[in-house]
Amino acid sequence: MASLRERVAHHLHLYHELDAPEIPDADFDRLVHELRDLEDAHPDVAAALDADGSGVSPAQQVGGAASGAFSPVRHDVPMMSLDNAFDVDELRGWGDRLVRRLGEDRAIDRWNIELKFDGLALSIRYEDGQLVQAATRGDGTTGEDVTHTVRTIADIPHSLPAGAPPVVEVRGEAYMRRSTFDALNDAQVAAGLKPYVNPRNAAAGSIRQKDPAVAATRNLSFWPYQLGRVDNGPALERHSDTFRFLTELGFTVNDHHRVVDGLDDVVAFIHEYEGRRHDLDYEFDGVVVKVDELDVQRELGSTSRAPRWAIAYKLPPEERATRLIDIPISIGTNGSATPYALLEPVFVGGVTVTNATLHNEDQVRAKDVRPGDMVIVRRAGDVIPEVVGPVLSERAKDSVPWAFPADCPVCATPLIRPEGEARHRCPNFHCPAQIRGRIEHFAQRGAMDIEFFGERTIDLLVTEGVIADVGDVFCFDPEALRSFEGFGDTSIENLAGALEVSRTRPLGKVIFGLAIPHVGSSNAELLAKAFGSLDALAGASAEQIAGIDGLGSVIADSVVEWFAVESNAAILAKLSEGGVRPEAPQVSTLEQTLVGKSIVVSGGLANYGRAEAKAAIVDRGGKAPGSVSKSTFALVVGNDPGASKVTKAEELGLPILDEAGFDALLSTGELP
Ligand code: IVH
């Protein structure tokens, strides 16, 4: 217990006093819970440790002690912490406990719900209408005087309207908007400084600046949510009245709050905001549920740490610490050698993550993550999981920096890193990993869409030497599988049937399946439409290809180069021998309103399926890629669009259209 106390105290200090936490909040919360459970189970040991001179257990403390950098401020009304609920059962358990405490015949039928902002708690004191002092929470009893920096926050009035009570303390959260944070970090990096880890730390670090001029450049914001001491204030009956009062005082209250009459509605609110987590320009890591009636709040009271009348429902963490087991290398279809993190499974961003890309040698070196390290893993929204960095205080003493392996882990060919490039490559075109990758790409749903021909079957056939390139896919006899475990009449018949169906896939899909560098599915469609057959495409000149609207010389050269390679010509011959007869593209009779325009569709539309929306664009001469870039003409959003696409489009200042706008765009080619 003593060493767990030390770890909690260490992280408590880093978080509250240095604004530089080493581990994610979720892991810190867990550590505190572990210690509390242990102390609850062994109160005698805890008491002995308390008496031992180490003082109150860190599990019982509200926040950090004052650092000494700023003058201490004693809070007239303590600034408490909140208890947490991590799932709906815990939330309902809390609700039941409150009702039991009030007496079985009582009910709570007004619950106030609001967001739990991820920032730094402040108490701002006004006397005779003037801002006189602003303090951090500190340990709940004594905080630090940060009046000088808080005065630079535009959301915080320096004076209150006439008639304001003689003493008012407004409590709330100072925070940094995501957009401000991104700009700050861009500037940090440009100046050769370390970027901030997250907006919370950036906000806390800015408030605790000595120089208010520095804080002023940080463009901080503030959401009020509670009152501290109020002398001769209005008689408020409900927490929701507090919000009205705060507005009258000249504060802007956050819009996302609601009063509901039961916990079912609270749960619905939580689910709604789980889905909106990335739609807002500021971070929130939970939902705070408060009993709305202030006299019921008073009746319920508080423990030494937290009020009984409120709870913080924590959303699934987007950052967690876990063990980095190893850094293996994966070999891609084109031979690219990518290091990735093999992780002890960790629940983060709502899913269990077991691996995350590490991109390339330079990234691993910059992050200095090493097998055996505890590392922080981040998965926010629909973004792919990322390793943020190591937890240095937990690194083994004998750990050494990771080095990129010299040889391909699949075929043992020495890896190369061409000069000026970030990526290593396996130069062996016949590396089984590359062969498998090319065949998997060819067979995938967006290409030849061969059912019953997944990774396992492909792996087996390549390893056993039955197929060696995509040309063999339609030539080998599925009977060859019979001698392997798990393959019988049904699976062989299924595969034979699937291959037959795939022989007549549309030409654009076949071209895409060939994995010609720079030819994604949209470009493949354009090539199919322009040339009508594989033979015609094989005979096309770079000028002819570059002349197609939407394609350029890079793509043209790449296509011509691909068809000039002898082994590729052999593949085409085998495909033809194997009975592949691509369906020629239908020439669209629609007006070509979207030539040269690239339109991304995200989310569900009422009158178009996913494929239909794509076809509607392509049939009018446009491109319909899967991701937003600066060359995107417009983003069309339906129900539940991908948050990262919307954010990217907003960042790039692209037009964002709804379904009606999409219809107009299709028919006129112009923005509505
Ligand atoms: S009410 C006595 N409401 O969460 C209850 N706190 O973990 C006072 N926080 O110290 C807190 N958003 O820094 C409340 N809407 C909200 C909040 C909120 C964020 C923070 C606050 C508090 C911490 C507790």
Q: What is the pLDDT of residue 64?
A: 62
Short-list 493, 498, 487, CA closest to 450: 498
Which CATH number is 613's domain given?
3.40.50.10190
Domain assignment of residue 68, yes or no? no
* Shared-domain flag, residues 362 and 287: no
Q: What is the widest separation between alpha-carbon atoms in the chain?
A: 92
CATH code, 143: 3.30.470.30
Q: How far apart are CA 105 and CA 304, in angstroms?
A: 27
- Measured by CA distance, the residue closest to atom 6 of ligand 1 is 116
State if pTM tops 0.75: no
Pocket test of ligand 1: the residue of 139, 173, 239 to mutate, having most ligand atoms within 8 Å of its CB, is 173
Q: Are residues 188 and 300 in the same domain?
A: yes
What CA–CA distance (Å, rounded) separates 646 from 533? 37
Ligand 1 mutation pick, 225, 290, 298, max ligand atoms within 8 A of CB: 225
DSSP, collapsed to helix, strand or coil, labels residue 551 as coil
Residue nearest atom 15 of ligand 1, based on CA coordinates: 116
Residue of the nearest CA to atom 5 in ligand 1?
A: 80
- Is 470 among the domain residues? yes
Structural domain includes residue 356:
yes
Task: Check: CB of residue 91 under 8 Å from CB of residue 271.
Answer: no
Instruction: State in Å: Cα 116 to ligand 1 middle.
Output: 6
Confirm or reject: Cβ of 136 under 6 Å from ligand 1.
no
Q: What is the pLDDT of residue 270?
A: 96
**Residue ranges of E strands in 239-363:** 258-260, 284-291, 310-314, 319-326, 329-331, 336-348, 351-357
Residues 288 and 369 in one domain: no
Ligand 1 centroid distance, CA of 13 (Å): 19
Residue 393: how many CA atoms within 13 Å on its side-chain side? 11
From the list 116, 597, 614, 648, the catalytic residue is 116
Same domain for 99 and 136, yes or no, is yes
Q: How far is the CA of 386 from the centre of ligand 1 (A)?
A: 29
Both 378 and 337 in a single domain? Answer: yes
Q: Are residues 160 and 232 in the same domain?
A: yes
Dig out the tokens for 297 from the structure: 């709040």
Weakly modelled stretches of the chain, pLDDT under 70: 2, 53-55, 61-68
| Number of independent structural domains in the chain | 5
- Nearest ligand 1 atom, CA 137: 10
Residue span of the structural domain in which 298 resides: 84-314
Q: Residues 530, 624: one domain?
A: no
Report phi then psi at 336, rounded to 5. Answer: -65, 135
Is 66 a member of any domain? Answer: no
pLDDT, tens digit (0-9, with 9 covering 90-100), for 365-378: 999 999 999 999 99
Beta strand 656-657 pairing with 634-637: parallel
Query: Is there a catalytic annotation at residue 314?
Result: no
307 lines ligand 1 (CB under 6 A): yes
Nearest-angstrom CA–CA distance, 177 and 280: 9
pLDDT at 275 (0 to 100): 87
- Whether 559 and 611 share a structural domain: no
- Are residues 556 and 467 part of one domain? yes
Structure tokens at 401: 């920096």
Q: Which atom of ligand 1 is nearest to the CA of 81?
A: 24
State CA 304 to chain mean position distance: 36
Q: Confirm or reject: Cβ of 226 under 6 Å from ligand 1.
A: yes
Which residues lie across from 634 on neighbouring strands?
Answer: 599
Residue 117 near residue 110 (C-beta atoms within 8 A): no
Query: H helices within 361-488, ranges in order?
Result: 361-367, 432-443, 455-463
Tell me, yes or no, whether 335 and 382 share the same domain.
Answer: yes
Is 407 part of a structural domain of the chain? no
For residue 381, what is the domain's CATH number?
A: 2.40.50.140
Q: Are residues 297 and 192 in the same domain?
A: yes
Query: Does residue 418 lie within any of the structural domains?
Result: no
Q: Which atom of ligand 1 is nearest to the CA of 62?
A: 10
Minimal-distance CA residue to ligand 1 atom 8? 80
Residues 374 and 446 both lie in one domain: no
Alpha-helix residue ranges (DSSP H) falling in 152-251: 178-190, 199-207, 212-217, 239-248
